């Protein structure tokens, strides 16, 4: 007669050989984090804080920093006040001014990676090209060099401003001189005394134009539609201010104050809200004071409501447009010729250099080939419906999470806050998964559907969420996957209410 010990041995043997009999998995999780920008560093920090130490942060570049390492165009400055543009418990006492430029932010991120103890987990100059889910509950990641890696969990922490978006203009390859996108600035090409054509007039352009206008013999700026531009009002921190900000409690209060101000800005994006009306008056006043010429003033006055397109900050873009060596072309370029740009009226504007400040593929889900549990491509799924449950998970892709996926960026808080809140949720779900002994978790289609039905309804309150708004916030199919349609309190509440009950366990 078999003993209890014999029965247990038989069960172990069967469980090891029969895929239908599975034991609870309490082994340490192996987590892959893709990207070493702010959200990738936040992911690593939260994983360590919650006891997950078997993770690797893959970064295709030679250093951490993400967007702030890749981008280096002239004048690149953050549009969020430096006090708020930090990790919650890792604020920076060394900011030089209210709005800081790219080198300071890159330095801060690289120092943070060291302070958080993430350097042993970094794998730089390693680009992931594919991630495939296997029946055994693991993800197989392939690098550009052909190496394969196996993980239980993948956190996609790639940013949304890496893939250049060139305009759909005939003849881009026809131009015989140097040309480039602002994402990939060619610092080795001298611009002094050159005739420059700059395509675009949005976020990168308003920072680049004042800088290169100082160098060009003539600069033509092509603008399809004008944008809302508010005064930046930047200034350096005084010696006393910097000394006070070295006191941790004062630095913490300083950050909290500026975050609270941001939290109150949600109304500026809501159609007809009194805050939106107030901000539009501020923007109009900025134009009237900065642009005395009525013809130019009319050309730079926005036609859309504030928030339909990304709001911009600048004190020197309007003055730059009024320099003798700068001309605003209020139309899209018709084509690129070998010696310049053809305008709508048939005129060829000759140029020595062409610079494209035309944005990015902000929801580029094709950068990595991701194949889920049923063999479906994430890129194809997102092309049809760019949606995720609370900006983190998609049905059919178990144990695969976005640090900041569709509808996870929120206008009323900083990128850092949104990423840290989302990542606290993701790591909490991993802890709940482990406690439940589940091999994998996959968001329930019902939870996913219910959340995205709310998104579609809630977006109608926002200027970026309704017709006739036309910006990168909207896809050609009418989806609005970029921004979160709610205030900061709603953002937090939805994540606090999310739990393992929203997921199927395997």
Contacts of 23 by beta carbon, 8 Å cutoff, 6+ apart: 15
Strands (DSSP E) found in 200-291 = 218-222, 229-230
Q: How far apart are CA 47 and CA 53, in angstroms?
A: 7
Q: Please say whether the beta carbons of 234 and 323 come within 8 A.
A: no
Residue 148 CB neighbour total at 10 angstroms: 10
From the centroid of its chain, how far is CA 146? Answer: 28
Contacts of 14 by beta carbon, 8 Å cutoff, 6+ apart: 21
Q: What 3-state class would DSSP assign to 52?
A: coil
Same domain, 103 and 202: no
**Domain for residue 246, yes or no?**
no
Tens digit of pLDDT at every position of the chain (506 positions):
444 334 333 333 333 333 333 333 445 899 999 999 999 999 999 999 999 999 999 999 999 999 999 999 999 999 999 999 999 987 899 999 999 999 999 999 999 999 999 999 999 999 999 999 999 999 999 999 999 999 999 999 999 999 999 999 999 999 999 999 999 999 999 999 999 999 999 999 999 999 999 999 999 999 999 999 999 999 999 999 999 999 999 999 999 999 999 999 999 999 999 999 999 999 999 999 999 999 999 999 999 999 999 999 999 999 999 999 999 999 999 999 999 999 988 999 999 999 999 999 988 999 999 999 999 999 999 998 899 999 999 999 999 999 999 999 999 999 999 999 999 999 999 999 999 999 999 999 999 999 999 999 999 999 999 988 989 999 988 899 999 999 999 999 999 999 999 999 98
Same domain, 349 and 440: no
Q: How far apart are CA 364 and CA 93, in angstroms?
A: 35
Same domain, 382 and 480: yes
What are 123's two structure tokens?
A: 């794998």
Give buried/exposed letters for 236-267 (b at 16+ CB in 10 A, else e): ebeeeeeeebeeeeebeebbeebbeebbebbb
Q: How far apart are CA 187 and CA 166, in angstroms?
A: 20
Range of the domain at 188: 172-227+309-356
**Domain for residue 245, yes or no?**
no
Same domain, 76 and 217: no
pLDDT value at residue 434 = 96
Domain boundary among 356, 389, 423: 356
Same domain, 403 and 495: yes
From 101, 71, 63, select the one nearest 85 (Cα to Cα).
Answer: 101
CA-to-CA dists, residue 458 to 18, 463, 483, 485, angstroms: 47, 11, 11, 6
Q: What 3-state class would DSSP assign to 288?
A: helix
* Sequence-ordered alpha helix ranges (H) in 307-444: 317-321, 378-384, 415-435
pLDDT value at residue 27 = 56
Q: How far apart are CA 57 and CA 34, in angstroms?
A: 6
Same domain, 59 and 181: no
pLDDT value at residue 477 = 85
pLDDT value at residue 468 = 87
**Domain for residue 21, yes or no?**
no
CATH number at residue 347: 3.50.50.60
Q: How far apart are CA 342 and CA 330, in angstroms?
A: 13
Identify the burial level of 472 via C-beta atoms within 10 angstroms of its C-beta, where 0-12 means exposed, 13-18 middle and 19 or more buried. Answer: middle
**Domain for residue 296, yes or no?**
no
Number of independent structural domains in the chain: 2
Place of tokens 């996913």: 448
Same domain, 104 and 74: yes
Same domain, 188 and 62: no
Summarised one tens digit per residue, pLDDT across range 127-174 is 999 999 999 999 999 999 999 999 999 999 999 999 999 999 999 999
What are 324's two structure tokens?
A: 């003798």
pLDDT value at residue 11 = 31
pLDDT value at residue 376 = 97
Same domain, 51 and 134: yes
**Domain for residue 17, yes or no?**
no
Domain boundary among 356, 380, 411: 356
Summarised one tens digit per residue, pLDDT across range 465-488 is 998 898 999 998 889 999 999 999
Q: How far apart are CA 272 and CA 90, in angstroms?
A: 37
**Domain for residue 323, yes or no?**
yes
Identify the burial level of 441 via C-beta atoms within 10 angstroms of its C-beta, where 0-12 means exposed, 13-18 middle and 19 or more buried. Answer: buried
**Domain for residue 256, yes or no?**
no
pLDDT value at residue 10 = 32
Strands (DSSP E) found in 102-202 = 122-123, 128-133, 139-143, 148-151, 153-156, 179-181, 195-199
pLDDT value at residue 139 = 99
Strands (DSSP E) found in 76-184 = 122-123, 128-133, 139-143, 148-151, 153-156, 179-181
Q: How far apart are CA 66 and CA 108, in angstroms?
A: 12
pLDDT value at residue 20 = 34
Same domain, 181 and 322: yes
Residue 309 CB neighbour total at 10 angstroms: 22
Domain boundary among 335, 356, 377: 356
pLDDT value at residue 9 = 34
Q: Please say whether the beta carbons of 297 and 291 come within 8 A.
A: yes
Q: How far apart are CA 396 and CA 133, in angstroms?
A: 10
Same domain, 206 and 64: no
Strands (DSSP E) found in 306-432 = 312-313, 326-329, 335-337, 340-342, 348-350, 353-356, 369-371, 400-402
Count how many Cα atoms sit within 13 Å of the Cα of residue 207 in the half-sphere of its side chain: 22
Same domain, 445 and 350: no
**Domain for residue 23, yes or no?**
no
């Amino acid at each position: 007669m078999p003993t209890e010990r014999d029965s247990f041995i038989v069960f172990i043997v069967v469980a090891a050989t029969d895929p239908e009999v599975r034991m609870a998995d309490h082994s340490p999780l192996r987590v892959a984090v893709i990207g070493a920008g702010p959200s990738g560093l936040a992911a690593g920090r939260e994983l360590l804080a919650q006891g997950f130490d078997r993770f690797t942060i893959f970064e295709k570049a030679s250093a951490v920093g993400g967007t702030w390492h890749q981008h280096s165009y002239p004048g690149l400055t953050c549009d969020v006040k430096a006090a708020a543009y930090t990790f919650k418990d890792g604020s920076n006492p060394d900011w030089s001014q209210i709005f800081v430029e790219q080198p300071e932010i890159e330095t801060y991120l690289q120092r943070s990676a060291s302070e958080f103890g993430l350097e042993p987990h970094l794998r730089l100059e390693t680009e992931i090209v594919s991630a495939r889910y296997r029946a055994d509950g693991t993800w197989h990641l392939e690098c550009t060099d052909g190496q394969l890696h196996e993980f239980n969990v993948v956190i996609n922490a790639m940013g949304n401003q890496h893939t250049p978006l060139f305009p759909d203009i005939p003849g881009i390859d026809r131009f015989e001189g140097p040309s480039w996108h602002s994402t990939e600035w060619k610092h080795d090409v001298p611009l002094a005394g050159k005739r420059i054509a700059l395509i675009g007039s949005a976020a990168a352009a308003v920072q680049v134009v004042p800088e290169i206008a100082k160098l060009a013999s003539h600069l033509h700026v092509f603008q399809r539609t004008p944008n809302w531009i508010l005064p930046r009002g930047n200034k350096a921190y005084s010696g006393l201010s910097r000394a006070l900000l070295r006191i941790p409690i004062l630095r913490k209060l300083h950050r909290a104050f500026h975050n609270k101000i941001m939290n109150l800005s949600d109304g500026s994006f809501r159609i007809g809200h009194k805050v939106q009306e107030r901000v539009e008056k501020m923007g109009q006043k900025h134009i009237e004071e900065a642009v005395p010429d009525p013809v130019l003033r009319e050309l730079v006055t926005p036609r859309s409501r504030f928030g339909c397109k990304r709001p911009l900050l600048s004190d020197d873009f309007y003055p730059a447009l009024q320099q003798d060596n700068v001309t605003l072309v209020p139309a899209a370029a018709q084509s690129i010729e070998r010696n310049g740009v053809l305008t709508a009226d048939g005129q060829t504007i000759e140029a020595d250099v062409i610079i494209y400040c035309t944005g990015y593929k902000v929801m580029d889900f094709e950068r990595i080939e991701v194949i889920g549990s049923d063999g479906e491509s994430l890129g194809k799924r997102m092309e049809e419906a760019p949606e995720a449950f609370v900006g983190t998970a998609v049905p059919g892709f178990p144990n695969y999470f976005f640090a900041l996926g569709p509808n996870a960026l929120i206008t009323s808080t900083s990128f850092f806050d949104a990423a840290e809140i989302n990542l606290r949720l993701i790591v909490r779900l991993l802890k709940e998964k482990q406690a439940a002994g589940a091999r994998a978790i996959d968001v329930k289609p019902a939870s996913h559907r219910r959340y995205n039905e709310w998104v579609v309804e809630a977006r109608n309150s926002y200027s970026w969420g309704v017709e006739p708004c036309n910006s990168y916030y909207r896809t050609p199919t009418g989806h609005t996957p970029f921004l979160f349609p709610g205030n900061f309190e709603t953002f937090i509440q939805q994540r606090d209410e999310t739990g393992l009950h929203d997921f199927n366990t395997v």
